[in-house]
Amino acid sequence: MSKLYDLLIIGGGPAGMAAAVYGSRSRLDTLVLEAKRKTGGQPATYHDMDNYPGVPETTAGELMDNFRTHAEKFGTEFARGEVAEITGEGLAKEVITKKGESYRAKAIVIATGAEPRKLGIKGEEEFKGKGVSYCATCDADLFTDLDIVVVGNGNSAVEESLYLTKFVNKLTMIVIHDEGVMDAEKILQEKAMENEKIEFVWNSVVEEIKGEGLVEKAVVKNIKTGELTDLECHGIFFFVGRIPSTDFLKGKVELNEQGYVKADEDMATSEPGIYAAGDVRVKTVRQVITAAGDGATAAVMAQKYLEEEEYWQANVVEADKPVIAAFWSVTDQKSLDLIGELEKMDLVEKGYRLIKIDTYKNRLISGKYDIEEIPTVLKLADGQVKAKLVKPEISSLSDLINN
């Protein structure tokens, strides 16, 4: 049987690496499972990185290398594999790769990010790797002193266009909006507008890609007039959004219509013990810093999940006698009174085990058993709830214990 990890992180981008740092530093036995040969996620395909707080001068690659070094410092293990499915539940989850490899874990963080969106334009697939690209860092030097086209106008498109101008002769951005309207941040728009190598074609889309073996021209369509224009070029870069890598999660956790994972502010998914962080989850801002923040939160909450679940498993599910679980708070007088009454009832002599659950510190277990008011008392046997009392009177407690 394979090793049982405390925390298994699927994906080695900024969200996954941050989760690894926080998980390993908290003494969780942590594994990062990455599908690609090199960790780093989406930023590993970029070059410039000038918006990560506290690091004014670095490249994306250098930053992600530092993320990994930091995780390794605390003992994070790394393995390579593309996940096919997640099975199991509770503290016995299993991750199975497409090659049939199995990894077991008590808690999981999904940090698989998103892949470049393809538009399905005629010629797009045919010329992939022959002039069509989705990665500036990967392919920029192939177009040194040549003319290229960039499709897209968001932050990624503009950032990558600015990087590409260090190599190419001329770059033409095809923008679907009216002149002067872009989806990128203002500071990036200003940099693009000021760059002498960048030209813009407004109100337009790429209709088709043509060439003999390699890209030679883009057929550009004006969406207002319908006019088609052949734009000669040697390459076309697409930066038009991304598609979440979540196919292996269908039926396991709740996804939205676009395939992104639904997770709350604690990064918790619909499946207990499985968390989602970074670009893979439903969120508004997708940046390295927000992904890292997600990863840190996911690891912290995974640790809390393990602490609560392992305590509950050992003291309730595996208990050799019935359990009286009192959900309480030290700031609530009725809770204090209840605990006092229970401790007077000689529960051990009557064949019970008494456990006290502070609802503030144990929100996951409290939520799992729908504890909405305190004090609440559960009577459990073999891990199953046999009775539930909300704000009970002393007589009700006696009946609960004696029956």
* Residues that are catalytic: 135, 138-139
Answer positive or negative: Cα dihedral of 304, 309, 310, 316.
positive
Q: Beta-strand (E) ranges in 223-352? A: 228-232, 235-238, 242-244, 274-276, 323-328
Q: Could you give phi then psi for residue 251, rounded to 5 degrees?
A: 90, -10
Provide the 8-state DSSP code for 321: S
Amino acid, single-letter form, for residue 63: L
State which H helix or E strand residue 121 sits in: none
Amino acid, single-letter form, for residue 91: L
Nearest by Cα to 251 from 232, 229, 274, 230: 274
- CB-based contacts of 380-386 (< 8 A; 24+ apart in sequence): 380/316, 380/322, 380/323, 380/325, 381/322, 381/323, 382/317, 383/316, 383/317, 383/318, 383/319, 386/322
Provide the 8-state DSSP code for 173: E
Cβ-Cβ contacts under 8 Å for 374 (sequence gap 6 or more):
327, 328, 329, 332, 334, 335, 359, 391
Nearest by Cα to 149 from 225, 188, 189, 204: 204
Tokens of 215: 């890209």
Nearest by Cα to 111 from 73, 142, 71: 71
SS3 of residue 334 by DSSP: helix
